[in-house]
């Protein structure tokens, strides 16, 4: 069964690269969530004043890959304990967020966060926000598949690819077969 989830974990180039390699993921689209249609463009989102987060919409086969397992990868693919920041990228547009479409998604995400906090998986409490998904606006075409299409770009080399590799190493059983 095809399902979708919208996640924000810093730069969408990084999160897209981490998730598009997973078996059961049918597609990953970079975009903007949390703000208005009028400000859903890279130039305005970069100001940090639009309410948007750089986010990805993941389309996946829920019979092959559960939302709970996707959340495992999500929390390992970025630092969910830093508020409005991922590495050198700062601002609300880089916040850690799960944009839920249903109460069931919100409840599962909340339980996942509580489980990780109780287990002290991270040195600090998780600050990932749970936000209702109002709309998702696809990013400009040049952002789509950016890390895959620009593997030698310096940001991709230093930030995006290491995150994708971390996921690959931690979840070898979830990788697409070549």
pLDDT of residue 121: 97
Active site residues: 11
User: Among candidates 32, 95, 29, which has minimal Cα distance to 60?
Assistant: 29
- What residues does each domain of the chain span? 2-174
pLDDT band at 178 (very low <50, low <70, confident <90, very high): confident
pLDDT band at 104 (very low <50, low <70, confident <90, very high): very high
**CA dist., res. 77 & res. 32, Å (int):** 19
CATH of domain 2-174: 3.30.1060.10
Q: For 60-85, what is each residue's pLDDT tens digit?
A: 999 999 999 999 999 999 999 999 99
Q: State yes or no: pLDDT of 94 exceeds 90.
A: yes
**CA dist., res. 46 & res. 18, Å (int):** 22
Which residues, at least 6 apart from 42, have a Cβ–Cβ distance to it below 8 Å? 139, 140, 143
């Amino acid at each position: 069964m095809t399902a979708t989830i919208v996640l924000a974990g810093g730069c969408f180039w990084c999160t897209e690269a981490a998730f598009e390699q997973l078996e059961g993921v049918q597609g990953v689209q970079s975009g903007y969530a949390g703000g208005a249609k009028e400000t859903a463009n890279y130039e305005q989102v970069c100001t940090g004043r639009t309410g948007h987060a750089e986010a990805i919409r993941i389309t996946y086969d829920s019979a092959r890959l559960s939302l709970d397992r996707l959340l495992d990868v999500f929390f390992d693919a970025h630092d969910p304990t830093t508020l409005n920041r991922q590495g050198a990228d700062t601002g609300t547009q880089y916040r850690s967020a799960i944009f839920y479409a249903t109460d069931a998604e919100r409840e599962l995400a909340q339980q996942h966060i509580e489980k990780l906090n109780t287990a002290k998986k991270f040195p600090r409490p998780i600050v990932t926000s749970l936000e209702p998904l109002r709309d998702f606006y696809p990013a400009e075409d040049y952002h789509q598949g950016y890390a895959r299409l620009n593997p030698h770009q310096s940001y991709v080399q230093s930030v995006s690819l290491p995150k994708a590799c971390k996921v690959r190493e931690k979840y070898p059983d979830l990788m697409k077969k070549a």
